[in-house]
Amino acid sequence: MIKFADEAVIEVSSGKGGNGCIAFRREKYVPLGGPAGGDGGRGGDVVFQVKKNLRTLAHLRYKQQFKARNGGDGEGRNRFGRDGEDVVIFVPPGTIIRDAETGTMIREFTTESEDERFVFLEGGKGGWGNVHFKTSTNQAPQYAHQGKPGETRLLSIELNIMADIGLVGFPNAGKSSLLDFFTNARPKIAPYPFTTKIPNLGVLHVEQDRDIIIADIPGIIEGASEGAGLGIRFLKHIARTAGLVFIVDASDEESLTAYQKLSVELANFSKELAAKPRILICNKLDLEGAKERFEQIKADNPNETVLGMSVFARTGMDEVRRSIIALVDAVDNASEMGAKASKKARNTNVIAEKNAKSDFMASRSDCDVAEIQYPGE
């Protein structure tokens, strides 16, 4: 499976507790009012919470400092200070939090449950106001406690990213072109087969807090399951995607049989992979004869979702985008309805597979294997 480590280093601080107050009652007809200084409020906590639609740590790379609010100071007339607001940091399932200095693991989020709140740093306690210090010998205490300070820690956050969608097609069909169009990845694209030699990952940004990761793998050819071409060893890297997008080059006569041939190779490799939900895209509709072949392929595959596009002419792209999102949504909804579809397995396996040996496991430090370029980097 394609995965690579996404990383971010962030500084988090809990809030300082508010100071206790020194005050006395000053009221008409109460000649010697006692102490009336209220307590300081608690500082805010540093809290981590899983958000399952988040797929990368990009949001932690834009903002790197997270501070909870300080508690308010106590006031006269026994009024307590306000509690400081917590800072909540959202992370995708599969995130691992470590102490940046020692590397010690603090927490891993293995499930998709969004209910779990992990309070990492508690805010400082508020100080007592002078009302607490009244004794029989000291009726007018002139002191109160300071609030306790908050804490600041440097954390390194890691995530192994896995693809939601795998692209499958013969060489030269336009898989990398599709990745280039829809995502932030900039794979090599060239008019000859086997341009892509190692998998590429890209992030399709759907909406705030919602990303879909697309994996572009090297082209498959007939006989791949017996070792032809680059072989199908790359297919294992899309084994846990939600769905597959098949792409055929409709300008080529071979496209009429490409889908069936690809399906056979896939099924020979893994029944599970072959059973994944899929859509079929006929690309290069700008070229001669392509539209006719597209119609033919649609007619030949009445049970499949068959779409046409031209990455060059930018036609059909909106529908392709919608269908890719719908493919992931369908699997997510199925898993939410208790069907235990693959998404859950994908995410719970993030950690389990972290140490699994993979010839294409990569980290951002060897990004030529699998790279996410963040806009603006």
Ligand X SMILES: Nc1nc2c(ncn2[C@@H]2O[C@H](COP(=O)(O)OP(=O)(O)OP(=O)(O)O)[C@@H](O)[C@H]2O)c(=O)[nH]1
Contact 219/63 with Cβ under 8 angstroms? Answer: no
The pattern of x and - marking residues 187 through 226 that bind ligand X according to CB under 6 A reads --xxx-xxxx---------------------xx-------
Q: Does 176 bind Mg ion (CB under 5 A)?
A: yes
CA distance linking residue 26 with residue 34, whole number of Å: 9
Which among ligand X, Mg ion, none contacts residue 30 (Cβ within 5 to 8 A by kind)?
Answer: none
Dist CA 203 CA 112 (whole Å): 20
Among 19, 310, 335, 342, binds ligand X (CB under 6 A): 310
Contact segment (CB under 5 A) with Mg ion among 144-152, 156-164, 189-197, 291-299 equals 189-197
Give CA–CA dist 236/232, Å, rounded: 8
Determine if 311 is a binding residue for ligand X (CB under 6 A).
yes
Residue 237 · residue 369 · CB < 8 Å: no
284 near ligand X, judged by CB under 6 A: yes
Residue 335 is classified by DSSP as I
Closest CA to 224 of 234, 209, 211: 234
Binding range to ligand X, per CB under 6 A, among 8-16, 152-160, 183-191, 298-306: 183-191
What is each CA distance from 200 to 126, 129, 239, 298, in whole angstroms?
Answer: 51, 60, 15, 29
Return the number of the residue (313 or 339) whose C-beta is nearest ligand X.
313
| 49 touching Mg ion, by CB under 5 A | no
Binding test (CB under 6 A) with ligand X, winner from 13, 130, 160, 176: 176
Smallest distance from ligand X to CB 364, Å: 23
Interface with Mg ion (CB under 5 A), residue from 56, 196, 241, 347: 196
Task: Supply φ then ψ for residue 310, to 5 degrees.
Answer: -135, 110
At residue 229, the 3 state secondary structure works out as coil
Residues 304/280, Cβ–Cβ less than 8 Å: yes
**Dihedral sign, CA of 296, 302, 304, 307?**
positive
Minimum CB–partner distance for residue 231 and ligand X (Å): 13
Q: Which spans of this chain sit near ligand X (rule: CB under 6 A)?
A: 169, 171-177, 189-191, 193-196, 218-219, 283-284, 286-287, 310-312
Q: Which spans of this chain sit near Mg ion (rule: CB under 5 A)?
A: 176, 195-196
